[in-house]
């Protein structure tokens, strides 16, 4: 493999290796490198996707601006992004929301361009935003949603939470209760926004809305399922990396 890459690097051609290049390799590896360079006879790999983690809650509108800025950068060939964070208590409305889904008229609703209806973000809920260039991957939105659901299901399995995806209702469920919501927008085949997983957030905040068009009692979390939340970001990152070639 090294001899092959070195010979390509020394050629006069510009080349791009496909994401599924691992099919040519008889070793179990996670292929996350798409750019190669040669320095002093040694192959150096550049990771074309950035993993970012924020310790403190990030203002929703500020996060959205950063996300949209990265979308424009990715359209011009910039690095993709996966971002782990939390938000202060914020109610957001997707493009399919209805006014009657706001039960408490005193709350402030932030309108967004993502898919879906009204949902809640609050401390203790893990948010995973991403900016992925489907031009370099699979131009298949259904596949993207399915693989994101698979990432969440596999992640929850680590904590012995048996979950599943529902063909009629996007998201991930535990005993008919929603534990993870997904909201995605695609612009020129660059997919962004992401998903949220209820860890130990206050589920009472959902009572002020009809979350994702559901009854408030149909929402659950790690805490409600009696599970401890350890190494959330680390495990999410590992699962994301493992499943990234399928997107």
| Rounded CA Rg of the chain | 20
Among candidate residues 64, 132, 181, 212, the one labeled active-site is 212
- Is 212 assigned a catalytic role? yes
Tokens matching residue 15 = 């080349």
pLDDT truncated to tens, each residue of the chain (247 aa)? 556 555 544 544 444 444 444 444 333 333 444 444 445 555 444 557 999 999 999 999 999 999 999 999 999 999 999 999 999 999 998 888 888 888 999 999 998 878 778 889 999 999 999 999 999 999 999 999 999 999 999 999 999 999 999 888 889 999 999 999 998 999 999 999 999 999 999 999 999 988 876 666 689 999 999 998 889 999 999 999 999 999 9
| Model pTM above 0.85 | no
Q: Are the beta carbons of 193 and 95 closer than 8 angstroms? A: no
Q: Which of 48, 224, 235 is nearest to 128 (CA)?
A: 235
């Amino acid at each position: 493999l090294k001899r092959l890459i070195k010979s390509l690097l020394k050629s006069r051609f510009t080349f791009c290796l496909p994401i599924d290049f691992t099919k040519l390799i008889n070793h179990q590896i996670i292929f996350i490198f798409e750019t190669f360079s040669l320095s002093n006879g040694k192959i150096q790999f550049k990771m074309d996707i950035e993993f970012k983690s924020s310790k403190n809650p990030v203002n929703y509108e500020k996060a959205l601006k950063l996300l949209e800025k990265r979308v424009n950068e990715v359209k011009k060939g910039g690095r993709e992004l996966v971002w782990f964070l939390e938000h202060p208590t914020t109610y957001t409305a997707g493009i399919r929301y209805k006014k009657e889904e706001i039960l408490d008229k005193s709350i402030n609703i932030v309108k967004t361009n993502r898919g879906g209806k009204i949902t809640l973000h609050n401390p203790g809920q893990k948010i995973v935003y991403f900016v992925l260039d489907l031009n370099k991957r699979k131009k298949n939105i259904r596949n993207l949603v399915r693989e994101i659901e698979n990432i969440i299901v596999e992640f929850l399995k680590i904590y012995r939470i048996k979950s599943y995806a529902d063909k009629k209702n996007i998201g991930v469920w535990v005993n008919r209760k929603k534990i993870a919501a997904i909201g995605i927008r695609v612009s020129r085949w660059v997919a962004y926004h992401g998903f949220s997983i209820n860890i130990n957030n206050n589920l009472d905040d959902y009572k002020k809305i009809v979350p994702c068009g559901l009854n408030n009692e149909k929402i659950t979390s790690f805490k409600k399922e009696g599970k401890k939340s350890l190494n959330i970001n680390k495990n999410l990152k590992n699962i994301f990396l493992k499943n990234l070639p399928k997107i």
